[in-house]
Amino acid sequence: MQQSTRKAMEDRFPRLSEEVELDEKWLPLIDYLSTFGLKESHFIQMYERHMPSLQINVCSAKERLEYLLSVGVKQRDVRRMLLRQPQILEYTVENNLKSHVAFLMSLGIPSSRFGQIIAAAPSLFSYSIENSLKPTVRYLVEEVGIKEKDLGKVVQLSPQILVQRIDISWNTRLNFLSEEIGAPRDSIVKMVKKHPQFLHFSIDDGLLPRINFLRSIGMCNADILKVLTSLTQVSSVFASSQLSSGQRRSFTNCG
């Protein structure tokens, strides 16, 4: 690197220069990514998470990010996506990005929601469609019991459901709710369909304390199950301030 160029980069990015061996070839990419609001501290995070992401040719990076913007990703979400999944700069449009977007379409997800799903789960692109994503979908249909026509709605409600170990989360929560409140399988399936976020909640720190709270206000197991499967949003169950006195009365008829 020429001395003047090195000095200019060190002046612009003193922390980055101190922590990594800067290459002048990175500068066009860094300048481009800066237009999405990335700062010096963000480039350090990207370097620490996945160093090769800063070695991508700026033209290739532009092509990939512009494609994501074209399918609905918001410019304001690009920075957060890159910090979570800097490898996204390496995923080619033809061999990766388009095929994964087509996969979302195959689930019945409207194109207007692609950007939201990608922003929420950018690691989606790191998973093989044939070896990971399709088996996850099959598991949701064949083991959990989600109907194929409902898959798109479930993924829209919780995009992370495609990139987590569904078999582990499903089985542990199925067993927990069956044992804790006597929930039948079809009720738990209904819960997952309406609130797939349920599969992300910790049992010990999330589900059990809330169930105990509902018991403390006089609800029996049947009431608790009705609440979990009937309220519009899971957060309504998990925040006592959102459970109105009317809702409490409507679900406290143990008889």
217 in a structural domain: yes
219 in a structural domain: yes
91 in a structural domain: no
Q: Say if residue 19's pLDDT is above 80.
A: no
218 in a structural domain: yes
Average pLDDT over residues 15-37: 85
pLDDT level of residue 236 (50, 70, 90 thresholds): very low
In 3D, which of 76, 67, 78 has the Cα closest to residue 102? 67
235 in a structural domain: yes
Per the structure, the complete domain to which residue 231 belongs is given by 165-255
DSSP letters, 190-254, are HHHHH-GGGGGS-IIIIIHHHHHHHHHTT--HHHHHHHHHHSS-HHHHH-GGGS-HHHHHHT---
Average pLDDT, whole number, for the chain?
86
pLDDT tens digits, one per residue of 152-176 = 999 999 999 999 888 888 999 899 9
Q: Say if residue 43's pLDDT is above 80.
A: yes
The total of structural domains in the chain comes to: 1
In 3D, which of 172, 179, 71, 182 has the Cα closest to residue 118? 71
Q: What's residue 239's pLDDT?
A: 46
68 in a structural domain: no
pLDDT tens digits, one per residue of 106-146 = 999 999 999 999 999 999 999 999 999 999 999 999 999 99
Distance from CA of residue 58 to its chain's centroid?
27
65 in a structural domain: no
In 3D, which of 74, 58, 83 has the Cα closest to residue 118? 74
52 in a structural domain: no
pLDDT tens digits, one per residue of 186-221 = 988 888 888 888 888 788 988 888 889 889 989 999
Total Cβ atoms within 10 A of residue 243 = 20
